[in-house]
A and B are shown apart, each in its own frame.
Chain A
């Protein structure tokens, strides 16, 4: 095959017909233009956002600490670090809470629940995704925080020797853990519905292979469903994480965040997140402060980028065994 295409053209005279150009159909042309156009559009938008962030953040990044101390929020990196920490820390706990539950619900829907219950659950999950984040924020401050406060108090009293639960328990319940729970509830629908789609894709053939070896239902899931869906599950978790990292409204309402690095989950001295901090400070900011806030946004952007790259790395390490070949 390769030989015929790479062989130099031999002068065999008029017996060789001129190569025919494949006929181009209008529908194909329109479709290919449209789809490649959309592809470019996404790149352009991303480039525009990145350019905006870089250009606007630049003055804050190059200003001397003295200038920032008098006109801004202070030296940039030490100022932004607590917020970056708060972002990652709260999102991490949101993931720890949400991922097992999401995978559990997705497995229940795809492999355990009777069909009608599965469909109802699916609708409810999708409905949850449609609730605006302000509503989650209100629910978090007004219902969840007071309701969980006694639990926090209990954890603090009896398990306070574990550093995570140490310190002085918050009297309002508006703690980092509350924020993480709210975030977990918010990212649950997206992780669940993506995982459900992924688990449904498991080839019947592989599940039957496991069953025929005498696997129980859970063993079938471990042998066939979860490994086959590994890449998809990681992608689902990453989308959820992306949402948690960038969530502004709910965190701003639940957390009375400060500029601290505090690993304790139950105190009232909580690190704020980058997104919530920007939203809270932007209305009053002017001059170099605006640049600083935008630079903080750039930091958030970079954090997300790094985490996504790590996820890609994890997926590609297993790609040989992904079942795609």
Chain B
């Protein structure tokens, strides 16, 4: 479908598509098999200026918004979301700085992130704090002109590979959710190390690791916003970035459709191509309809976010929720259409189905997205009565 993209948006889409097709597709199976971080591809994306799509020009970016970023993420995801998450997670790490950073912090860090010279990552989750970020145990204590951070973050995408981390830690545990703060921590800071690299079901080329803080001292000026704003930073960051997960989902679903349509035209059983069976056509029809609906929603939400409204939580959660559920279903059906071949590692849909599951889990599980949407519905309804 034509979404009436501007010339610039079409250029972004074409460039990301070309990189995905020419540079990512040929190596995706190997990256998955070897669980190897896609550095070479990150460098290509950096040279192509794609890391700075949503970063203002004054900080070395391209000056686009969430929508431009979504277009690039979708194209990369069409061939491999292990690669696209490594790209997108740098954005997740950058948003706290973009949204809450001082001019100095922005100048210093955003330009590095925009150029792709350094990757970023976002550290919120801990062993005891998943859906419930209130369970955060990592602490940061001011000592002179430095904060001393202690604790362990878990399952941080780009962990070990990224050089700029935005991390949530408790500065005042007694104040509960108002006692958290956000910090910028650079790789190489004494007392900051990485735990083991996780072995995962899917997105195996991406790096998922622990961030270990052992009396890690960061300068006071690395505090993002003010003390006590940590969870606000986290929530606003996720509001901005969730449509990106939606785009991963749309791209992945489209990639699976691309593969199985081609296969269904070639594969012959009962003396005819299996695509001539209505049962197959109907599955494909549903897959395509759902994917297009997801795309339309994600695009609409991303553009809505770029109009800078006050509250985007509900719309942003919807984009992530709907698209990721679609991606899961579509990839399961893609394997079904390809039968036993679909189940084999030789064909890409096997990986796509494994990869899809993460989209329903990270950046807030889909149950949590429904909670967010539900809370917004209640709030809106209550507001109307007055």
A and B interact physically: no
